[in-house]
Each structure stands twice: as C-alpha cells, then as structure tokens.
Structure 1
Amino acid sequence: MERRAFLTDSLGAAAGVVSLPSAASRPEPTGAVGTSDLFELRQQLHSLYQLDDAFGGDEVRSLAQRHLRRIRRVINTTTYPDTIGRQLQLLAGETAEQCGWLAYDADDQDAARRYWGEALATATMLRDAGLEILVLASMAMQANHEGRPRDGLDLSHAAQERAQKYGSPTLQSLIAAREARALSLLNDKAAATKKLTDAMRLAERIDRGRPSPTWAAFHGPAELDYAQGTFYSEIGHHSAASTFLRAALSHQDRTYGRNRALYRITLSRSLIQAGEVDEGAAVAVESLQHLDEVESGRVMRGLREVAGQLGNVSAVSARSACAELTEYVHAKGAA
C-alpha cells in the first residue's frame, strides 16, 4: 500500500474514533452533559495521542483541532454541573496543549506557541498543576529547539518546581532531561551531566511516588539514551553520541514510529560527524523505508540536514545517498 493511501485509511479510521457522533454511539449531547460524555471526549483525546506516537504531527493535527472545536462547542452550548464544567475546561486545555505539540512536531512553531499560550491560560485559571507542568515542559522543549536555551532552562525550572510537588519520579526525570538539554546548549557541561544523572536516577524510582500522567508514557530508557546521545553530540563527542543513539533506537517501542524515525536521522547525522560517512549514509538511506508512515516536519528537517551533510562529502557513497535523500524530500513535499 502506498504511503498516502496508508495514512488516509489510518487517519480516516481515526477520524471516526474522534468524531461525535459515531455510528455506534448515542446522539451527541445538545442538552445536559454527564460523566459518560466527558469520558468519551477524553478517550478521543487519548486516541489522538496514539496516532501522534505512530504517525507524527503533520496530518494528525487537523483531527486535534477539530476535537478542540468540538469541546469548545460543548462547553458553550450545553448545560452541566460545575464539576463537569471544570473537567470540560481542563480537557479543552489538554487538547489545546496537544494541538500545540502537533504543531511543534509539524515544525509550525508560531501555531505551537498560540496553542500552548491558550493551554497555559486554562491551567492558570483552573489552578491545575498537572496541566501547568505539561505546558511548561513543552514550552521548554520548544525553546531549546529554537536556540533559546536560557528560556528553555527557566521554563524547565518552573516545570520542575511544580513537578516536585506533584510527586512523580518519571515526570521529574523527563523535565530533568530537558534541563540538561538547555544546559548543554549553554555549554555548561558539568551541570548538564549532573542533570542527566539526576534524570536516570529518578527514572529508576518509577515504583515510588505518584504515577506519571498518561502523556509522559513515552519517557523511559530509550528517551534517556537519546538525551545522552544528543548531549554528547552537542559537546562534540560524536562517537559516544552514536553509541547512545543506537541504544535509543534498540530500546524504543515500535509503537512510537515518529520517535524511531527521529532517532534514525539523528544517528545518521552523528555517524557522519564522527567520520563514519559510509555507515551514516547507509543508515540515512535505510531510514527512508521507515519514513513512509511518518508525517513530521521535525523529521523532514533532520533529513534535509543529513542530505546537506552528505552533499559536502566527496565520497561516492555520500554523493549517492545525498541524491537519494534529496529526491525523497522533494517527492514527499509534492505528495
């Protein structure tokens, strides 16, 4: 099956999942909203998380935006008790945050900022620490991605302060890894190393404290290996970086298709920087077969960067791989 047909079928099925009413569901609420309606709306958000993990943000984002519009309409056109109203508002904030994440992954950073601003306003209004932590951690990640590590560090600190009160070691580990990324971008190697050590130590305490929220389920050994790999890459130790990035790829669950694609591209870039041009080129070309199911602006940006690296190398294997990657990028852009 061709990539576009595969994604259309998969996303079409998902549209049925996140669409109210579905053929098998009761009519959409137009009067009073109860806990069963709230549960259904939350399950639809969970389905969006799963689609993002598998396929990336580019095409899933329109489904999330539609889901957010639905929740807003329910909030503004139906009746419900205050307890349900608060949960609907919280769900709207969580869905706005997911819209921001999907825009971020699609490399639409302005849209990501708008959605995260909306989500943070909702978290502040509701005084909900869980949503605050999620949004602040996301904004920290974006700041690092955009080359604003000082902002990334400040936002990570704010998220970590709240996470310590929340009491989830997994959540604290995730944020510590983002603090480490900001510190490495600020060239504070010692502090970054300490934060990565903290992240690994906290990840070993998952049987203690409060369970991590659903959105943090992706954080584990693979993400910590990836964090170590990017750290070594940023300080110029590319051979060590490649070792950790290989480990990240081997540890990552296959349900996280987008993350695995990102890991492969990052590994290829690190191998080329380490002077292992033939292997880096081979990994990059091999990754193309895995990208057919992924729609992620971040992944495609990484692929273009690798093609640029290979284009600057005179080796025949590099030139050949560069041509193949460039052709793929153009074809995918035209699809």
Structure 2
Amino acid sequence: MPNARNAALIAWMKTNGWTALEVATALNTVITEVTQRTSTRGELSEVTIRKWRSGETTWPQSKARMALEQISGRSAADLGFLPPDRRKSRATPEDPVRRRTLLALASTASAAALAGSSPSVGASDVLRLRQQLDTVNALDDQRGGHDRVEKAALTGAQEAVSLQARAATQRTRQRLFALAADFTATAAWSCVDAQERARARTHLDRALYLAGLAQDPALTLRVWNSVSMLAHQQGDHAKALAAGQAAKATPVTRRDPLYASLAHARTAIAHAHLGERRQALRALDLAAASLDRAEPDRPRPSWIAFYGAAELHALTAIVRDRLGDTAYAESASFQALAVLPDSFRRNRALATVRLSLAQLHQGDVDQATATTARVFDEMRGAPLPGRMRSLLERVSLVSWSVDRMRLSD
C-alpha cells in the first residue's frame, strides 16, 4: 500500500512559499553551520524533499530533522513526520545529550544560515529595490531613452529575479516579480524612446512574462502601452490599436480610472493613424471622462507619474494633428506645456516639438522655427533621445516642404 502524502509539510511549504530546492538549500546551510563540515557528501537535495512530501520518507535523519525544526519553528511531528516503531527498529537510540547539543548549535547558527536562505529576503529588500526603481524612472524623466537608463533598469530586474528565489513568502515573491517586470518595462521604454526597436521588443516580451508571474494587471497595462508605441514606430498601426485595446482590457482599468484614461488615449492615437476620425475622438472623450473620475492622490507606482492632464493634452495634440485639426493641436500643445512639471524635461521637449509641427502644418514657419529652438534649451546638457531626433527631422522636412510651397506661389 503506497504511503500517504505528507499534507502537513506540503501545507507549510505552500503557506511560506518554499520550493523543494529552497528547503534543501536552507537545511544544508544549517547543517553545515552546525557540523562545521564543508564536504558535500550526504547533502540534502530537491529529491530528498520531494520524498518527504510524497510520504516515501516518513522520518528524516536526525540532523535533517534538527535543521528542519530550526527553519520552520515546528517539531518534526507537527510537520507530519512519524517516528518508526522503536520495537521494530534496530537503530541505536539517539543520544539525548547529542540531540541537545545539536539543537543548541542549530539555535546559534540558524540566524546566519537563514541569511542565505528564503526568509532573509523580505519587505526591506522590496522597499530598497522600489526606491532604486524610482531613481531610474526619475533619470528617464530627465534624460529620456538612454543606454544608462536601460542598463540600470536591467541590473535592477536581474537582482529582483535573483532575490525572488529566496523570498520568505509567496507574497514577497510576487512583489519581486512585479519589480522585475517594472524594471524590465523601464528598460524597454528607454529603448522605445531611443528607437532601439529590436532591444525594445525583447525587453517587452520579458516584461510581459514577468508581469504575468507577478499577477500585476497595472504592469501588464504598462507593457501593452509600450507595445502600442513600438508598433507605431514600426508603422504597424493596426497592431498598435490591438495593443491599446489589450491595455483597456486589463482589470486595473476597471478599478482605477487613471489607467483607463491612458488606455483610451493610446487607442485614440491608433485610430487617428488609421484614419478613423470618429473612433479617435470618441476615445479622447472617454480618456478625458476617465481622467476626471481619477483620484489624483491615490497611491500608484512611479512609472505612471507621467500621466495626467498635461500628458492627455499632449496626446490630444498628436491625435488632432494627425486628423488635420492643426489649430486644435496647437492649442492642446500649449495646454500641455502650461501644466507639465519642469522635472519632466523630456516630455516638455517632446510637447514643444509637437507644437512646432502643428504651427508648421498651419504654414507658420517663422513661429515654428522659434518654437523648435526651445527644444534644445529644454534638453541642454542631455543627449536627445532617438524618438525626439526623429520628430525634429520631421520638423525639418515639413519646414522644407512649406518653404518650397511658398517659393512656388
């Protein structure tokens, strides 16, 4: 008759987010500290823990039990293990003095042992990485797409993924996956802004995977938002619309109107590029209505800090200019610049370029030239991201075209 599964051990591991490999690693650390032996002979393995879970092993060896009691805070019996019948066992009874000695040694070693195992990774590590992420996002706001931002973000993502393997609980593990997704999405966004499209695509795929592991719909929306922008850069506006609609479908848009507003604005841009005027204006109206319902002081991750009335004005300028409503686009750009904080230097520079384009599309070359000069003032001391350089090239092309039309008149 097969042995019954060890339900108590399984429940404890599930509650605390331990994997079989993590338990084995933690136990080996405690045993090494206690015995002061560095030999790997007799090390516990993932297979060992699985045998414990399956019930194949009903009573682990003494050192393993001591270590397990230390990392769990429970007795072996409480964890579902059953001692053998001593009347049938030929094993020499365990020396009680030796048992007490091992327990005493394990008590002094457990803190050091756990420093290299799962419980050492908790809220303080999550907070530290979150602060690091905020710093990277602030750097992006100032400089825009840049390899320094990408590298810093990928370093943070790698650390978060590494730490989750030693997380104390499943909740901590999910938070670390969320941070890894957030860092990776920041790296992806930096590449989108720099127009490094191949790297952006790779990072976005990874970020979407990590956001799924984190079960974080806000991060999923963030990734789809960037996918939509990348698709526009690649000229695939139908894909950009599909990504915007995927963003709208994330559950976070039903819980927080701010996210819904961003998703509506993103689909408005896609509709405008596809020449779908009615749908584009409808999406802008929904974006504005959602933003009106949003609570501005509600706690949110740092990546969404860019979005608000100013950004919606800036996105409205893009939609209106694309639809041929150039005077409306110019007005929207002025509104964006009136409320955009100075800390969002890159966004202010982009809104200024859009203002210049709207003025050029109305034939006002002199005013557009003066407006374009302000872009370099905004970005003084920082390199221009690829996306901004492309827009400036478009300004030059439109300016040249307008000048030619003037000469032909």
The two structures have a TM-score, normalised by structure 1, of 0.79
CA distance in 1, matches of 2:299, 2:122: 27
Q: Which segments of structure 1 move beyond 6 Å, counting only runs of 4 or more?
A: none
- 2:316 alignment partner, one of 217, 223, 228: 228
Q: CA deviation at 1:311?
A: 3.6
The answer as to whether partners of 1:57 and 1:106 remain within 8 angstroms in 2 is yes
- 1:250-261 correspondence to structure 2 within 5 Å: 250-261=338-349
**Superposition deviation, residue 163 in structure 1:** 4.1
From 284, 304, 309, the equivalent of 2:393 is 304
Is 1:114 the counterpart of 2:114? The answer is no
- Asked if 2 retains the 8 angstrom alpha-carbon contact of 1:170 and 1:212, the reply is no
Q: Does 1:132 align with 2:224?
A: no
Measure, in 2, the Cα distance between the counterparts of 1:153 and 1:314.
34
The 1:208–1:285 alpha-carbon spacing in structure 2 relative to 1, beyond 3 Å, is closer
Deviation at 1:314, TM superposition (A): 4.1
Deviates more, 1:295-304 or 1:198-207: 295-304
Q: Is the 8 A contact 2:318 2:329 kept in 1?
A: yes
Size of the aligned set, in residue pairs, is 288
Matched residue, 1:193: 281
- What do the CA deviations read for 1:150-198 (whole angstroms, capped 9, x no partner)? 1111121121121466411111001100011111111110111111011
- Do residues 65 (structure 1) and 154 (structure 2) align? yes
Q: Equivalent residues in 2 for 1:242-321 (5 A)?
A: 242-295=330-383, 296-314=385-403
CA change 1:212–1:153 in 2 (3 A) is farther
Give how far 1:288 is off. Answer: 1.6
CA shift for structure 1 position 313: 4.8
Deviations 1:277-333 (A, max 9, x none): 000011112322222244321112212222233344549xxxxxxxxxxxxxxxxxx
Range moving further from structure 2, 101-110 or 283-292 = 283-292
| Alpha-carbon displacement from aligned partner over 1:239-261 (angstroms, at most 9, x marks no partner) | 22112111111121111000001
Q: Secondary structure at the match of 1:292?
A: coil
Partner of 1:5: none
Aligned residue type for 1:299: M
**Secondary structure in 1 matching 2:249:** helix
**Which is worse superposed, 287-296 or 225-234?**
287-296
Contact 2:269-2:280 at 8 Å conserved across structures: yes
2-structure distance, mates of 1:285, 1:104: 24
Which letter does structure 1 place at the counterpart of 2:213? M
SS of match in other structure, 1:204: helix
Contact 1:42 1:91 in 2 (8 A): yes
CA RMSD of aligned residues (A): 2.5
Deviations 1:17-40 (A, max 9, x none): xxxxxxxxxxxx755222112210
Q: Distance in 2 between matches of 1:70 and 1:126?
A: 15
| CA shift in 2, pair 1:57/1:125, >3 Å | same
Tell me how far 1:215 sits from its aligned partner. Answer: 2.0
Q: Is contact 1:163-1:171 (8 Å) kept?
A: no
Q: 2:231 aligns with which of 131, 134, 143?
A: 143
Confirm or deny: 8 A CA contact 1:252 1:260 kept in the other structure.
yes
Equivalent residue number for residue 51 of structure 1: 139
- The aligned amino acid for 1:103 is C
Q: Give the stretch that moved more between structures: 217-226 or 37-46.
A: 217-226
Letter in 2 for 1:102: S
Q: Note closer, same or farther for the CA distance 1:304–1:183 as it changes in structure 2 (3 Å cut).
A: same
Give the stretch that moved more between structures: 227-236 or 253-262. Answer: 227-236
1:102 paired residue among 175, 190, 197: 190
User: Which TM-score applies when normalising by structure 2?
Assistant: 0.65
* 1:174-193 mapped onto 2 (5 Å cutoff): 174-193=262-281
What is the one-letter code of the residue matched to 2:152? L
Give the whole-Å Cα distance in 1 for the aligned partners of 2:324 and 2:253: 36
Per the alignment, in what secondary structure is the counterpart of residue 217 of structure 1?
helix
Larger helix fraction of residues:
1
Q: Do the aligned partners of residues 83 and 62 (structure 1) sit closer, same or farther apart at CA in structure 2, a change above 3 Å counting? A: same
Q: Aligned with 2:293: secondary structure? A: coil
Specify every segment of 5 or more residues in structure 2 that has no aligned partner in the other structure, as ranges: 1-114, 405-409
Q: Which has the higher contact order (CA 8 A, sep 6+)?
A: 1
1:158 aligns with 2:246: yes
Q: Deviations over 1:174-232 (max 9, x none)?
A: 11000111111111101111110111111111239975543222211211211221112
Q: 1:212 to 1:74 in 2, by over 3 A?
A: closer
> Could you tell me how far apart the structure 2 residues matched to 1:122 and 1:34 are?
19
State the one-letter code of the partner of 1:60: V
Going from structure 1 to structure 2, the CA distance change for 1:75 and 1:244 (only over 3 Å counts) comes to same
Tell which structure's C-alpha radius of gyration is larger: 2
